[in-house]
Amino acid sequence: MSSTHIYNYPKQFKLENGKKLRGLQISYQTFGKLNTAKDNVIWACHALTANADVLDWWKGLFGEKNLFNPEEHFIICATVIGSHYGSTNPLSSNPVTETPYYLSFPEFTIRDLVHGHQLLAEHLGIKKIKVLIGGSLGGQQASEWAISAGSNIENLILVATNAFHSPWGIAFNESQRLAITADRSFYAQKPDGGVKGLKVARSIALLSYRTYEAYSTTQLESVNEKTGDFRASSYQNYQGEKLCKRYNAYSYWYLTKAMDSHNVGRGRKSVIDALNTIKSNTLVIGIENDFLFPISEQEFLGKHIPGAEFHSIKSAYGHDGFLIETDILTNIIGNFLKESVNKKIIKLHKTA
């Protein structure tokens, strides 16, 4: 049984760039109950266009009878600043002008997204998170959170993510933004502005999420005579239209910029030094044929986070495998958490 809430931050929210947001709202969903000790919190950080219903978009890993289930855990997933799904975003009303922000919305970073969720955790009285997990942009949030939270994160799980966004990833995001801004309606200051450009952007993104093998398997033609109306063409159109029905171009544009901003070394001695400060029991999972977040990026995380455990998997779906290969993830994460509990018990025995 889930419940949806809105947290209204009572003060001005200061962004990393110094700008401020008034009337910040964070939309979130919870599943299960917080126990008396408040030590059963599972916090899921969502990827680029997901909502707060983690039991829906991470089925098989989250849900009844799954590894992370509401019968045993108190599961929280909050949408990020800029999200289309309830948190303050470019379509929200600016308290000063009483009209939607659109392109006057201030730019924000991954650290701003994390700061918003940390304020929510404080509001909920949560001082310790048993498991903080995220994939892709969600993993970027989780790594930043773990660096800034010290020992407040017991177990950290990073899937198909990185310590800083690569030139390759930034180039993909910029190509998508070019598609959006080529649609002149993006500047029309209306909720559906840039929708045609968003469709193209999603088509570009999908190529980075999947693999050659995946398209060869699912979109291959069964006849040799075709000269048009290909399955792959229809698929790209369908996926683009599907996103346009549930998301807006402004949120997408801003969130891709936030992803580009990700660098745990910014304002710190170095990327490696920042990762070295993580105190959580950490599991890093990479996908061998991930085209967008190459496995070398997860190997880097595993190498430089103290005591981190690293696993690699292969998925026909490439980067999207982090959402699809839930049986494999359940096995790896389940074993990791069992080992984490055993280490804790041994440590307690030694202390005694």
Residue pLDDT, tens place only, 190-244: 999 999 999 999 999 999 999 999 999 999 999 999 999 999 999 999 999 999 9
Q: What share of the chain is helix, strand, coil (3-state, %, to 5)?
A: 45, 15, 40
Region 295-315: what's the mean pLDDT?
98
Query: Is 161 within 8 Å of 140 (Cβ atoms)?
Result: yes
CA angle 152, 87, 104 (to 5 degrees): 120
Domains in the chain: boundaries: 4-166+264-351, 170-258
Closest CA to 92 of 38, 30, 153, 26: 26
202 among the known binding-site residues? yes
Backbone angles phi, psi at 308, to 5 degrees: -65, 145
For 122, phi then psi, to 5°, come to: -65, -40
Judge whether 35 and 29 are in contact, CB under 8 Å: no
Q: Is the pLDDT of residue 149 over 90?
A: no
Mean pLDDT on 61-80 = 97
> Which positions are annotated as active-site residues?
136, 290, 319
Global model pTM greater than 0.75? yes
Residue 4 has a pLDDT of 84
At the fourth CATH level, which superfamily is domain 4-166+264-351? Alpha/Beta hydrolase fold, catalytic domain (3.40.50.1820)
Distance CA 144, CA 134 (A): 11
| Token pair listed for 140 | 């970027």
The hierarchical CATH code for the domain 170-258 is: 1.10.1740.110
Q: pLDDT value at position 1?
A: 54
Which residue is listed with tokens 């809430």?
Answer: 5
Equal fold, 4-166+264-351 vs 170-258 = no
Q: Which residue reads 């999420």 in tokens?
A: 209
Whether residue 246 is annotated as binding a ligand: the answer is no
pLDDT of residue 348: 46
